Structure 1
Amino acid sequence: MAGIMTARRRPACRDNDVMTLRIATRDDTAELWRVRYAVTENTLTPGRISDAELHAYLEDHGRGWVVELAPGRIAGFSIGDARNGHIWAMFVDPALHGRGYGRVLHDVMVNWLFDQGHTRLDLATAPNSRAEAFYRRAGWQPTGDGLDRWGDLPFELHRKDWPRHA
């Protein structure tokens, strides 16, 4: 089936379980919200984003991916906006942090966005968070613009600085 890749976790991951990386669909909505509301940083008030808005990002504005550990059990997800190269969402179930799922989700999303022709990607995340440290390790740099209107720190990644496209 197109869009599905089953693989052993990379050696840097803690366990040797099988995971499936696949394109997210509207059928994943309940699990996406479960993971999104489970996070303890970069929290979201329930109802602030509707199912319709989520589906628009998955089907019209860009693409999303999930790491699935078993049918219906998602470890995390990422969603990129193809219109502008924006990382719209990337979250991993806090109970599963540190296993490499975030890096897998990040890399497939970044590669896809650069493949769409973008030369610069952007995102924003809470300052002094695990996410900020993660993105810095992945090569993202603060834009220097200060905090945005939601109190998040904007970051950017340029194609020339991404190993696959350098």
Structure 2
Amino acid sequence: MTLRIATRDDTAELWRVRYAVTENTLTPGRISDAELHAYLETYGRGWVVELSPHPNLKIAGFAIGDARDGHIWAMFVDPALHGQGYGRQLHEVMVDWLFSLGHTRLDLGTEPGSRAEAFYRRAGWTPTGDAPDAYGDRPFELRIEHWKRHA
């Protein structure tokens, strides 16, 4: 297993993982390759957990953060590989990186009642109290002072 920075060469595997999830689903085509690449190369940075060698899968999961505002744009693990710590590794590297850029508050949205919501709550994220967004996602925040206490 290797944790590394994602590149546009990972595009097909990122989409494979993204469309494999059963919660926080995404309609194919709603986000273009160009938008994905912009988040990887211009707006922020992404990481992947690469499985090597694995006969059927190359990437276990990925995370992408927006350097401009500290927004977690995406974080997904292949459902067949849940519970193996890949999400935690991706989360920690992404959060550490975003805070290292000088952000003091990070934000994200996730499906209410999902496994992801439970994961983020365990990691110290708290709901902001704002209404769900246009996609029905509940907004959460993580403040640096809370991360330092619980990391």
Which TM-score band (shorter chain)? over 0.9
Could you say which residue in structure 1 is the equivalent of 2:17? 35
Could you say which residue in structure 2 is the equivalent of 1:20? 2
Q: 1:165 to 1:130 in 2, by over 3 A?
A: closer
More helix by share: 2
**1:163 Cα deviation from its structure 2 partner:** 2.4
Q: Does 1:63 align with 2:45?
A: yes
Q: What percent of counterpart residues are identical? A: 82
Could you say which residue in structure 2 is the equivalent of 1:3? none
* SS of aligned partner of 1:89: strand
Provide the C-alpha distance between the structure 1 equivalents of 2:149 and 2:3, rounded to a whole number of angstroms: 19
Provide the C-alpha distance between the structure 1 equivalents of 2:144 and 2:61, rounded to a whole number of angstroms: 25
Could you say which residue in structure 1 is the equivalent of 2:26? 44
1:34-62 residue CA offsets vs partner (Å, 9 max, x unmatched)? 00000000000000000000000000000
Q: How many residues align?
A: 148
Query: Is there any run of 5+ residues in structure 1 with no aligned partner, and where?
Result: 1-18
* SS of aligned partner of 1:161: helix
Could you say which residue in structure 1 is the equivalent of 2:148? 163
Provide the C-alpha distance between the structure 2 equivalents of 1:84 and 1:165, rounded to a whole number of angstroms: 22
Question: Could you tell me which amino acid in structure 1 is paired with residue 78 of structure 2?
Answer: D
CA contact under 8 A between 2:124 and 2:150: conserved in structure 1? Answer: no
2:82 to 68, 84, 97: 97
**1:146 Cα deviation from its structure 2 partner:** 2.3
Q: Does 1:118 align with 2:103?
A: yes
CA RMSD of aligned residues (A): 1.5
Question: Could you tell me which amino acid in structure 1 is paired with residue 103 of structure 2?
Answer: H
Runs of 4+ in 1 over 3 A off after TM superposition: none
Q: 1:144 to 1:61 in 2, by over 3 A?
A: same
TM-score (norm 2): 0.95
Query: Is there any run of 5+ residues in structure 2 with no aligned partner, and where?
Result: none
Provide the C-alpha distance between the structure 1 equivalents of 2:61 and 2:149, rounded to a whole number of angstroms: 23
CA contact under 8 A between 1:111 and 1:164: conserved in structure 2? Answer: no
